[in-house]
Structure 1
Amino acid sequence: MKSNRKILMTMSLILVILLAACGSSSNESNAALEDQSEENQSSQDTMDNSADEDSIDNNANTDNTDTDDNNANEKVDPSNNEPTKEEDLSANTTANLKEEYLQKLNDAKNEVEEMRKNPIDDTTIAMKKVEGDAYDIWDGLLNEIYKALEKQLPAEEMEQLRKEQREWIDNRDHTAKEASLKYEGGTMEQLEYVKVENDLTEERCFELVENYMK
């Protein structure tokens, strides 16, 4: 009987120890679970904060891009005083036209001088042929320049130039006639008349281009 009591007490003691051990293990498990939960929550908060920071950075970059686009799309104020492309083109065209005619005149001058130096022969007929060809050159250039000025000059200025040109023609012919009279009645009279006309026409061509062409 005493032996059974001892066994019963021993078993009861073992049971109490086991229950105590189980309770302790349960508390430790709960504590571990709580720690794990806190760590997970902390990690989630960190990730959320990082995502918020990335979102802020992206928004800032978007704002900067929008600002750059707006600046790029801003139109230049057309009210400035800088010349337009059309005005620049017109100015360049005019300058090129003037340079073109000056080059033509210089080429013609060299050509006529070469013709006078190298006639077919020394006869008056050969020299008249040279001056006749020179007249065609200078008279052709004079008419060409005059037509170019009609397109370029304002109406009032062109009207004034017409008057001057008529006076110049009268003066040229009169001067040529006066110069030819020293050979009046001779074979050189007509030759001198045309030569003086040519020289005066050459001068007038340069004058029109340099003083009137803009």
Structure 2
Amino acid sequence: MKNNHKFLMVMLTVIFVVLVACGNASEESNANSSNKSLDRSTTQNANGNLSNKSSKDTDKNRTENSSEDTDDTHIHDQEDTSENTSANSNDGKSLTSGNSDDDVTENKKEEYLNKLNRMEESDKNAEAKTTISDMEEQEEERYKNWDKALNEIYGVLKEQLSTEQMDKLRKEQRNWVEHRDEAAKKASLEYEGGSTESLEYVATQASLTKERCYKLVANYMK
């Protein structure tokens, strides 16, 4: 009986030791598993951080490179624009310098020829008067307009011609004034004593002054 009791005690002790050993082994296994899981998680986090850092650095470098490329492109665009502007400016200067004084005066000449043509057309389309006094008044107005145009043309020629040319034209103009008045007087004498004598005088002055305007513009205005 005593032996059986001892045997039972030994068996219980062995079983207890085995259970304790199994418990410790299970705890160590769990601990190792936890440590491995932690190590794996830490490694993954570290790799993730490194990956994120690498990705951020890559993005940063990409952004910086993109910014540098954009700045370079912007600078090149400005340089191209500056060159184009300079080229256009030079072209503009070339075109401006290409317009000589002859072109300017030629436009002035054309301007006055057109003006004289309009004046002549206006004379042709003027209402015909029926009485001598009205006709004389109309011719006086026509002469006044053409004489005003002649003085204006003469003033332009003063600016265009040289001193020598202007002195020559001044002498010619004085001779022409004498010729105009003599021609008008001669034409009016054909109606001497008649009601149309003064009418013929002023009408001849107007016609000769018109001719003189065209001649000065055609022969002297460059």
User: Is the contact between residue 158 and residue 166 of structure 2 (CA under 8 Å) also seen in structure 1?
Assistant: yes
Change (3 A) 1:14 1:175: same
Which residue matches 1:120?
Answer: 131
1:102-156 CA deviation, whole Å, 9 max, x = no partner?
43563366348747x41424xxx66655544443333333223222332444434
**What does residue range 38-57 of structure 1 map to in structure 2 within 5 Å?**
38-57=47-66
Output the TM-score relative to the length of structure 2. 0.68
2:71 is the counterpart of 1:62: yes
Which residue matches 2:168?
Answer: 160
Select between 171-180 and 53-62 the one with higher mean Cα deviation.
171-180
How many residues are matched? 206
Structure 1 gaps, min length 5: none
1:56-99 CA deviation, whole Å, 9 max, x = no partner?
11110111112222333455266652116xx79xx679836853
2:144 is the counterpart of 1:136: yes
Which residue matches 1:10?
Answer: 18
Change (3 A) 1:119 1:158: farther
Return the alpha-carbon distance in structure 1 between the equivalents of residues 138 and 13 of structure 2. Answer: 162
Return the alpha-carbon distance in structure 2 between the equivalents of residues 130 and 50 of structure 1. Answer: 92
**What does residue range 63-82 of structure 1 map to in structure 2 within 5 Å?**
63-74=72-83, 76=86, 80-82=93-95
Return the alpha-carbon distance in structure 1 between the equivalents of residues 192 and 37 of structure 2. Answer: 147
Output the TM-score relative to the length of structure 1. 0.70
Structure 2 gaps, min length 5: 1-5
Return the alpha-carbon distance in structure 2 between the equivalents of residues 147 and 24 of structure 1. Answer: 116
Which residue matches 2:3?
Answer: none
2:214 is the counterpart of 1:206: yes
User: Is the contact between residue 105 and residue 221 of structure 2 (CA under 8 Å) also seen in structure 1?
Assistant: no
Superposed CA RMSD in Å reads 3.8
User: Is the contact between residue 119 and residue 130 of structure 1 (CA under 8 Å) also seen in structure 2?
Assistant: no
Which residue matches 1:95?
Answer: 107
Match of 1:118, SS state, is coil
Change (3 A) 1:102 1:172: same
Select between 24-33 and 45-54 the one with higher mean Cα deviation.
24-33
1:33 to 27, 34, 42: 42
Same amino acid, percent of matched pairs = 27
Which residue matches 1:83?
Answer: 96
Report how far residue 191 of structure 1 moved: 4.9
2:158 to 150, 153, 171: 150
Bigger Rg, which one: 2
Return the alpha-carbon distance in structure 1 between the equivalents of residues 49 and 122 of structure 2. Answer: 100
